[in-house]
Amino acid sequence: MDSLVFDLINKELERQRHGVELIASENFTSAAVIKAMGSCLTNKYAEGYPGKRYYGGCEVVDQIEQLAIDRVCEIFSAEYANVQPHSGAQANASVFLACLKPGDSFLGFDLSHGGHLSHGSPVNYSGLVYNAHFYGVEEETGTIDMDKVEAKALEVKPKLIVCGASAYSRDWDYARFRAIADKVGALLMADIAHPAGLIAAKELNDPIPHCHIVTSTTHKTLRGPRGGIIVMGKDFENPWGRTTKKGEAIMMSSVLNSGVFPGMQGGPLEHVIAAKAVAFGEVLDPSFTTYAKQVKSNAQAMAKSLVEKGYGIISGGTDNHLMLIDLRSKFPDLNGRQAENALIQADITINKNMVPFDSRSAFVTSGIRIGTAAITTRGFVEQDCLQVVEWMDEVLNNFEDEKKLAGIRSEVNQYMQKFPLYENELTAV
Ligand code: DSN
């Protein structure tokens, strides 16, 4: 064994065990998911799709990949799924490649208002290759005004409209987005990377009946391995006007499959696909609904308590697992970077995040983003979340007092001993 690497992995395991994880995009997979990811499947090349591969010896991985496809279709009542994207960004890139030509216009949610890098940021392929336009939130409400989205769509005539975000705490009106897309002749894609687990548990609006295409990561609220997926509902057979040279309709599903492979990726990661299948099996278990309800309820408890303590939450609260805190309401001189650094000294992990109409840069920010997916997996209920808010408030009130922060860290570490993580299930060596 390579002790240098495995000692570090064990160190990371200890860090995860004794801290409070509030990064909204993180979670703790089951030991079974980790076992599948660390399996011999990593040795196998399987370019292509089940039953149509470019390599021999794919009989077993075909069954594994089909299991992942069937399970994810069952979760989302989908008609089509591609489980090969290595990440959410790769899933999005594959859809763009399949649906747009370089220079085509699309409309996405502004990154500085809570959108995602892969939805048109000028430093990302999506903004470099395509002509990105944006809608955002209203300064007064922190929510999206759908009439303004419609006006923007009518103005820029996008080929594709993207809904979904990485820092937006409200639910999405997919039906209205579809009406707008239909009005301007655009395809509609929802990126549900963040709320996927809550959608799977029917705790949030369902995009599948309304969106032509839905992409997601598998490792956030869905609690699987790091990776991506693409799913489609009834639109999977939609030929959207494309035909072969012989005049036969090309199905959207095959255009998307080609977008992933060979368009964007090479060989699929069958060990990760197996881990996705395991995680999807867990999502189909009724206990996952209990988990998803608790994630939401924990987020609401935290938001309420933070507001009571004088913190500004963008949009005033949350419908999902996350919230964006505008630090300026309580601490005009404390920025997101300082807050992140102080909280990490107390073993509370969050990320600094720009708030809409931020007066500070993305490297400094006026906000922090927190989420409850990971702590809920640890077993936290509302009263534990209120304790976390107490610690956060104490840290932010004393962000330069190292002694105080060390004291809070001891309390946090002791508290976390009540919530074992991978006990007797996992060590790196
Ligand atoms: N990095 C992810 C997040 O934190 O939301 C999105 O890619």
Q: Whose CA is nearest to atom 3 of ligand 1?
A: 25
Instruction: Quickly state the pLDDT bin for 417 (edges 50, 70, 90).
Output: very high
Distance from the CA of 190 to the center of ligand 1, in angstroms? 15
Ligand 1 in contact with 166 (CB < 6 A)? yes
pLDDT of 236 above 70: no
Average pLDDT over residues 46-53: 98
pLDDT of 238 above 90: no
420: cis peptide before it, omega within 30°? no
What domains, with CATH codes, occur in the chain? 13-29+293-416 (3.90.1150.10), 44-283 (3.40.640.10)
pLDDT of 429 above 80: no
Cβ burial 95-132 (10 Å sphere, 16+ → b, else e):
bbbbbbeeeebbbbbbbbbbbbebbbbeebbbbebbbb
Instruction: Quickly state the pLDDT bin for 243 (edges 50, 70, 90).
Output: confident
| Segment 344-391, tens digit of pLDDT | 999 999 999 999 999 999 999 999 999 999 999 999 999 999 999 999
pLDDT of 312 above 90: yes
Q: How many other CB atoms are there within 10 angstroms of residue 283's CB atom? A: 25
In this structure, what token pair is assigned to residue 323? 């919230």
Average pLDDT over residues 325-331: 97
Give 155's contacts (C-beta < 8 A, 6+ positions apart). none
pLDDT of residue 251: 84
Distance from the CA of 337 to the center of ligand 1, in angstroms? 17
Average pLDDT over residues 413-427: 91
Pinpoint the alpha helices (H) of 326-425.
336-345, 373-378, 382-397, 402-416
Q: Whose CA is nearest to atom 2 of ligand 1?
A: 25
Is position 45 annotated as part of the catalytic site?
A: yes
Ligand 1 in contact with 318 (CB < 6 A)? no
In this structure, what token pair is assigned to residue 428? 């790196």
Give the CA radius of gyration of the chain. 22
pLDDT of 239 above 70: no
For residues 346 and 399, the answer to whether their CB atoms sit within 8 Å is no
pLDDT of residue 244: 75
DSSP code, position 300? H
pLDDT of residue 248: 78
At 219, which amino acid appears?
H
Q: How many helices and strands (H and E) does the chain possess?
A: 15, 15
Instruction: Quickly state the pLDDT bin for 250 (edges 50, 70, 90).
Output: confident
Which bin fits 424, alpha (ψ -120 to 50), beta or left (φ > 0)? left
pLDDT of residue 390: 98
User: What is this structure's pTM?
Assistant: 0.96
Ligand 1 in contact with 25 (CB < 6 A)? yes
What residues form DSSP beta bridges with 249?
243
Helix (H) or strand (E) run with residue 80 in it = strand 80-82
| Segment 198-214, tens digit of pLDDT | 999 999 999 999 999 99
Is position 226 annotated as part of the catalytic site?
A: yes
Separation CA 261–CA 265 (nearest Å): 5
pLDDT of residue 257: 95
| Candidate from 21, 22, 25, 191 with most ligand 1 atoms within 8 A of CB, to mutate | 25
Of 56-60, 417-421, 424-428, the range with the lowest mean pLDDT is 424-428
At 272, which amino acid appears?
V
The whole-chain average pLDDT of the chain stands at 96
| Segment 115-149, tens digit of pLDDT | 999 999 999 999 999 999 999 999 999 999 999 99
DSSP secondary structure letters along 301-344: HHHHHHHHTT-EEGGGS-SSSEEEEEGGGT-TT--HHHHHHHHH
pLDDT of 426 above 80: no
For residues 237 and 252, the answer to whether their CB atoms sit within 8 Å is yes
Give percent of the chain with pLDDT exceeding 70.
98
pLDDT of 409 above 80: yes
Give 210's contacts (C-beta < 8 A, 6+ positions apart). 174, 175, 177, 178, 188, 190
Separation CA 352–CA 364 (nearest Å): 8
